[in-house]
Amino acid sequence: MTAEVPTDEKQNLISQLPSSKNELNSEIFKILFVKAIKDYFKVHWKNKRLHILMAMSEPGIGNS
């Protein structure tokens, strides 16, 4: 069961949002950009470590 939000309450919530659309977009962009960079480095570092561990654990690589 979902509660209906009264229209005046919706307007109130909307008015609390950043005034211009550009302001809002730049905030969202900043958040997503930072998150994307963090995720990239997290995945990149994890993959790098994984390759190093695999190379160390598999005999025969590099001395064939």
pLDDT per position as a tens digit, 8-48: 887 877 777 666 777 778 888 899 999 998 888 888 778 88
8 A C-beta contact, residue 45 and residue 51: no
8 A C-beta contact, residue 28 and residue 36: no
Q: What is the per-residue pLDDT across 50-60, written as a single tens digit (0 to 9) for each?
A: 887 777 776 66
Cα separation of 43 and 11, whole Å? 41
Model-level pTM? 0.38
Cα separation of 56 and 61, whole Å? 8
